[in-house]
Amino acid sequence: MKVKTGYAKFDLEQPALNFTLNEGGEISGGLNHLGIQVSSTEDVLKVKERLQQANLATFDEMNTNCCYARQDKIWVTSPDGHRWEVFTVHENVEENDAGSSIDEQASNNISSCCQS
């Protein structure tokens, strides 16, 4: 379990589940977005390829700090309008940089991390 101000993450082993709660952000119908955690950046990119083959547009966020972790992730909106992220975690970090990757910080193009 990881708890910070306005943030709580529960990692269960059985069943394998990552359940995260964030305070704030835009909400539609009580649900902000859904996510699938995978083992590696390679797995993230494999999912991206499959989604694009299904004619779904994806958005990359590589080397981003989000939810107190450095991650590689992609975003997609399902045909029913739900936002999904597919991500891998490289390491835990102390700051929640609202999704700004190291490259994005340099260009001042800040994303919205888990508030997307």
C-alpha–C-alpha distance, residues 7 and 22, integer Å? 5
pLDDT value for 97: 64
pLDDT value of position 98: 53
pLDDT band with cut points at 50, 70 and 90 for residue 102: very low
Among residues 18, 38, 32, 27, which one has the least CA distance to residue 83? 32
Q: What is the domain partition of the chain in residue ranges? A: 2-115
79: left (phi over 0), alpha (psi -120 to 50) or beta: alpha
Question: 94: which DSSP letter?
Answer: S
Fold (topology level) of 2-115: 2,3-Dihydroxybiphenyl 1,2-Dioxygenase; domain 1 (3.10.180)
Sheet holding 34-37, edge to edge: 34-37, 83-92, 69-77, 58-66
pLDDT at 19: 84
Radius of gyration from C-alpha coordinates of the chain: 14
**Cα separation, 106 vs 2, whole angstroms:** 28
- pLDDT of 69 strictly over 50: yes
Q: pLDDT tens, 29-55?
A: 667 788 899 999 999 999 999 999 999
Residue 74 has pLDDT above 70, yes or no: yes
Does 64 score more than 80 pLDDT?
yes
> Residue 96 above 90 pLDDT?
no
> How high is the pLDDT of residue 108?
36
